[in-house]
Amino acid sequence: MKRLSVIAPLFAMLAVLAPPAVQALETTTGDPQLQRYIREALASNPAMEARLQALLGQRLQAEAARAQRLPSLGMEARYTRALGGRVIEFPTGDLFNPVYATLNQLLQEQGEAPAFPTDLQNAEIPFLRPQEQETKLTLRAPLFAPEITAAIAARAAQSDSAQARLEATARMLVREVKRAYYGAAQAEAAEGILEASLALLEEDLRIAGVMLREGTATRDRVLRARAEMLAVQQQLDAARAQTRQARRQLARLLDRNAADNLVLPDPTPSTEGASPVPVSARDDVERPQERPELRALDAGIRAAQAQAEAEAAQLLPEIVLAGDYGIQGENYAIESDSEFGTLSIVMRWNLFDFGARRDTRDAARAEAAQLRAERRDLERQLGIALEEARDALQVSRRALLTASARVEAAEAAFAIAERKRAEASLSQVAFIDAQRALTEARLNAVITHFALKDQHAEVEFVSASYPLPALPIASAETIDATP
């Protein structure tokens, strides 16, 4: 539950932001415990959490690109104190002092007192105000901006690519969970078979010891029985270590700290689903679908094409509606003469940039061509992988039938060997050989049984036909990439 508490808010956000891309169905057949583990891994695995976070980021970036088509309203405030700077010199004293002196002289000649000042100083008007403020609201609305439309398409394609990578991670995680689940079950089954074989050999060693004490057998019989028992004990130790390792791997995929409480399937081999089928219908899984890796490349191609279109759109002018309203003056005051407003239509057109836009556009087109080539190569590889997986599935089916028949024959032979040993008409070597043949047949049947299940899971993975449990990427609407 530790990861679920972290991812749950993200799931709720993605339910609003992300479009329905993977219509996954709950499987109603198969191993219920395995289905529970798969759902647990998809909900709590750190790799899935990382992909979900990446998808969320791409969705939000696509929404941000889409919002650039809408008007924006901002506020700007500026307060300035100026010292020094340029001044405008006005020769007030030089102009008026002589005039005023002449007027005063005329007045004195008429017997009147001087009335005009003659000590005026030249005026110096600073170019910058000592203090000034301007506070305004700014409205910007794009009227013609083809670059924004192309950027929206690019972001939408990148979001689709992230979504496809999420599904690819989910399918890979399902494959790894199945491999670890079947591997742990196989190791545990082998452990049980070897424990049963060890019990038989311990009994044979006991009988050999009794026969040695009674004088009916020599010491080499005891040594042979002990050597065979120790060989199986060594195999059993290795099987137990493999079981612990497989359980730890499964627990890691489920993001659990302990592997002791994992429930594994019934290890009893079965021939169900082992009958060969015609080549025309040789995979009994769902009809193959397009792999999410191919869809991710398709989205990458669309993103590169949109990026090229965005660079080409920069060759056209951008037309923006701009409006400002605010107050300005030496002090903060709302007065009739302090308010101002402007409304403009602004055209921006980058006429020449030494080929930078052309080179960027050509680079985006080259990237799209590269992704197309990678897609063709990957498509061929996946087709070959699917054929190989189907062929291996057919081989596994036939191998399971053969392994089951081998177990039946080995069990019948061992039953006869036990009766002969009880009648003292069978050598120790023959009995040990019969017991070894039975152990090997049972181990081979277990290995073949789970190999068939694992190969079936491989076909499901390569063909992308496994019905994924519902991934948390559904939403009410798809991000619109149209202008």
Q: Which domains does the chain have, with CATH numbers?
A: 2-70+145-314+350-463 (1.20.1600.10)
Q: Is the pTM of this model over 0.85?
A: no
Average pLDDT estimate for 56-60: 90
- Which residues, 6 or more positions from 444, have their beta carbon under 8 angstroms from its beta carbon? 403, 406, 407
Q: For residue 10, what pLDDT is reported?
A: 36
Task: Give the H or E element holding residue 345.
Answer: strand 339-348
Q: What is the pLDDT of residue 324?
A: 92
Q: Where are the beta strands (DSSP E) in 20-178?
A: 72-81, 87-90, 123-126, 131-144
Q: Using one digit for the tens of pLDDT, what is the confidence trace for 363-379? A: 888 988 988 898 899 88
H helix or E strand, kind and range, residue 203: helix 146-214
* Mean pLDDT taken over the chain: 79
- State the pLDDT at residue 13: 33
- What local confidence, expressed as pLDDT, does residue 139 receive? 92
Tell me the pLDDT tens digit for each residue of 148-163. Answer: 888 888 888 888 888 8
- Most distant CA pair in the chain, distance: 170
- pLDDT of 242-260, one tens digit each? 888 888 888 888 888 776 6
Q: CA 73, CA 377: separation in Å to the nearest integer?
A: 49
What count of other Cβ atoms lies within 10 Å of the Cβ of residue 273?
A: 14
Give me the pLDDT at residue 277, please.
43
Which tokens in the block code for residue 240? 């137990």
pLDDT tops 50 at residue 99: yes
pLDDT tens for 451-460 read 888 888 889 8
Asked which of 159-168, 232-241, 331-340 is least confident by mean pLDDT, the reply is 331-340
Query: Which among 130, 129, 128 has a CA at the least distance from the CA of 86?
Result: 128
Q: Give the residue-averaged pLDDT of 181-210.
A: 82
| CB contact at 8 A, 55 and 90 | no
Res 126 pLDDT > 90 = no
The token pair that represents 82 in the structure block = 């100026």
Determine the average pLDDT of the residues in 16-37: 51
pLDDT over threshold 80, residue 479 = no
pLDDT tens across 276-327, in order?
A: 444 334 444 445 568 888 988 999 899 888 888 888 888 888 899 999 998 8
Q: How confident is the model at residue 21 (pLDDT cuts 50, 70, 90)?
A: very low
The DSSP bridge partners found for residue 339 are 327
Given this model, what pLDDT does residue 480 score?
43
228 or 141, greater pLDDT: 141
SS3 140: strand
pLDDT of 208 above 50:
yes
Order of strands across the sheet with 131-144?
Answer: 72-81, 131-144, 318-329, 339-348
Cβ atoms within 10 Å of 468's Cβ, excluding its own? 20
